């Protein structure tokens, strides 16, 4: 079964890793949000793309989910001692990725070409594509003014109350080469358990139309998120955070919805949105959890194709 997965950072990467374990590599394409990308210390940084690549390559830091395993921090600590900003922690190994990406971008290579080369170097078998080669920048509209995504997320620790979001550049951004083709060839598209507002919405804005069955996985479990501010964002936007809220968020686009067993009591309400449902364990503590969730979802999709 050919699958396209839409992913943001840590949660999306874990689920994509599960899919990579249960699908032949040629059957999986992961399309990754680049709305979180930014320039820092003059370097071009793609947090979600790197998180997905490091995770699929088995090089991700298991404690944070982002950055590299067995990382050291000499460069950023030395820069900080000289007065440089240290709020965004760039590890020594990770810096190699940003240096080489930036060098290639300055030469005129595209983000998708660079990602393809990096995936080869890291021996990643499945296809990982940035959503676009053109810059899209997520701006968080808050009660304290508009903040660039990493400024809001990392520097301000998601504290300012959210009023809305804007994806600068999205009107002119084209899907990266291979994105439309992968969707056209897919049997189904899976929306990973990533933040609907800031990880998945940018991808949906770029991709625009999907003429395939789409299945989404709720990143909200028991009214909370495992990681990140999705539940806080729903709350501040005046929506009670729940699996139902996520199902409503996507309901014009999806045919199936996957959510956690702790929310089993919400199944009737979700079914009434005209969605097929799969209630299962969606928490991914271990590698086995990732694989198991991926294979449950593939069986769920298979029953409807
Ligand atoms: N997240 C943090 O909370 N603090 C950091 O210092 C940080 C550094 C960082 C460096 C490289 C990278 O690829 C990701 C990094 N992240 C950090 C994670 C990242 O900014 C967010 O998780 C995503 O943008 C949201 O998906």
CB 278 within 8 Å of CB 258: yes
Q: Is the CB of 67 under 6 A from ligand 1?
A: yes
The closest-lying atom of ligand 1 relative to the alpha carbon of residue 91 is: 10
Work out the angle at residue 190's Cα, subtended by the Cα atoms of residues 154 and 140, and round it to the nearest 5 degrees: 25
Pairwise CA distance, residues 228 & 240, whole Å: 16
**66 Cα–ligand 1 center, Å:** 6
| Ligand 1 atom nearest residue 33's Cα | 26
280-304 burial: b if 16+ Cβ within 10 Å, else e: eebebeeeebbbbbbebbbebbeee
pLDDT given for residue 227 in this prediction: 87
Burial string for 94-127 (b: 16+ CB within 10 Å, else e) reads bbebbeebbebeeeeebbbebbbebbeeeebebb
- This prediction has a pTM of 0.97
The answer as to whether 258 is a domain residue is yes
- Whose Cα sits closest to atom 9 in ligand 1? 89
Which residues pair with residue 259 across a beta bridge? 279
Ligand 1 in contact with 66 (CB < 6 A)?
Answer: yes
Digitized pLDDT (tens) for each residue of the chain, 305 residues in all? 999 999 999 999 999 999 999 999 999 999 999 999 999 999 999 999 999 999 999 999 999 999 999 999 999 999 999 999 999 999 999 999 999 999 999 999 999 999 999 999 999 999 999 999 999 999 999 999 999 999 999 999 999 999 999 999 999 999 999 999 999 999 999 999 999 999 999 999 999 999 999 999 999 999 999 889 999 999 999 999 999 999 999 999 999 999 999 999 999 999 999 999 999 999 999 999 999 999 999 999 987 65
Q: How far is the CA of 265 from the centre of ligand 1 (A)?
A: 34
State the distance from the centre of ligand 1 to the C-alpha of 63, rounded, in angstroms: 12
Domains: count for the chain:
1
Residue 160 included in any domain: no
Please indicate, yes or no, if residue 22 is contained in any of the structural domains.
yes
150 lines ligand 1 (CB under 6 A): yes
Does 65 fall in a domain?
Answer: no
Does any domain span residue 86?
no
User: What was the pLDDT predicted at 226?
Assistant: 87
Q: For 3-38, how does the pLDDT look when each residue is reduced to its tens digit (9 = 90+)?
A: 999 999 999 999 999 999 999 999 999 999 999 999
Q: Is the CB of 47 under 6 A from ligand 1?
A: yes
3-state helix, strand, coil in the chain (%, to 5): 40, 20, 35
Residue 9 CB less than 6 A away from ligand 1: yes
Please report, for the domain that includes residue 220, its CATH number: 3.40.50.10680
Does residue 186 fall inside a structural domain?
yes
| Among 252, 253, 195, CA closest to 220 | 195
Structure-block tokens of residue 227:
């990681």
Instruction: Note the pLDDT of residue 303.
Output: 77
Whether 143 is covered by a domain: the verdict is: no
47 alpha carbon – ligand 1 mean position (Å): 6
Any domain includes 150: no
Helices (H), the chain: 10-22, 47-56, 74-81, 92-107, 111-121, 149-150, 179-185, 201-207, 230-236, 243-250, 267-271, 287-302
Query: Rounded to the nearest whole angstrom, what is the distance from the C-alpha of residue 51 to the centroid of ligand 1?
Result: 9
48 ligand 1 Cβ < 6 A: yes
User: What is the C-alpha separation between 193 and 231, in angstroms, rounded?
Assistant: 13
Give the position, in ligand 1's atom list, of the atom nearest the Cα of 89: 6
Residue with tokens 């083709």: 181
* Cα angle value 77/154/108 (rounded, 5°): 80
Range of the domain at 233: 3-40+132-136+171-302
CA distances from 98 to 49, 95, 148 (A): 11, 5, 19
If you take atom 21 of ligand 1, which residue's CA is the nearest one? Answer: 47
Indicate if ligand 1 lies below 6 Å from the C-beta of 263.
no
Ligand 1 site, residue 37, Cβ cutoff 6 A: no
Which residue's alpha carbon is at the smallest distance from atom 26 of ligand 1? 9
Sign, Cα dihedral of 129, 200, 154, 138:
positive
Supply the pLDDT for residue 305: 57
Q: Looking at residue 73, what is its pLDDT? A: 98
């Amino acid at each position: 079964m050919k699958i396209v997965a839409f992913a943001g950072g840590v949660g999306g990467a874990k689920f994509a890793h599960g899919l990579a374990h249960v699908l032949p590599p040629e059957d999986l394409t992961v399309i990754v949000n680049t709305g979180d990308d930014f320039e820092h210390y003059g370097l071009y940084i793609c947090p979600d793309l790197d998180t997905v690549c490091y995770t699929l390559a088995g090089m991700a830091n298991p404690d944070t989910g982002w950055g590299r395993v067995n990382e050291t921090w000499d460069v950023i600590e030395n820069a900080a001692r000289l007065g440089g900003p240290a709020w965004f922690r760039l590890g020594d190994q990770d810096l190699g990725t940003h240096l080489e990406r930036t060098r290639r971008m300055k030469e005129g290579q595209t983000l998708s070409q660079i990602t393809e080369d990096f995936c080869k170097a890291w021996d990643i078998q499945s296809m990982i594509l940035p959503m676009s080669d053109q810059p899209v920048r997520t701006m968080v509209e808050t009660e304290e003014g508009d903040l660039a995504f990493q400024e809001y997320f990392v520097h301000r620790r998601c504290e300012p109350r959210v009023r809305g979001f804007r994806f600068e550049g999205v009107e002119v951004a084209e899907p990266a080469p291979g994105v439309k083709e992968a969707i056209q060839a897919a049997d189904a598209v899976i929306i990973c358990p990533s933040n609907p507002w800031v990880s998945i919405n940018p991808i949906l804005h770029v991709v625009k139309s999907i003429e395939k069955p789409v299945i989404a996985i709720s990143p909200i479990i028991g009214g909370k998120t495992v990681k990140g501010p999705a539940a806080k964002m729903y709350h501040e936007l005046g929506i009670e955070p729940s699996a139902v809220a996520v199902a409503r968020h996507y309901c014009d686009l999806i045919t199936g919805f996957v959510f956690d067993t702790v929310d089993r009591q919400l199944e009737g309400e979700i079914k009434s949105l005209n969605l097929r449902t799969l209630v299962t364990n969606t928490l991914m503590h271990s590698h086995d959890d990732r694989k198991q969730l991926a294979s449950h979802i593939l069986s769920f999709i298979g029953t409807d194709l």
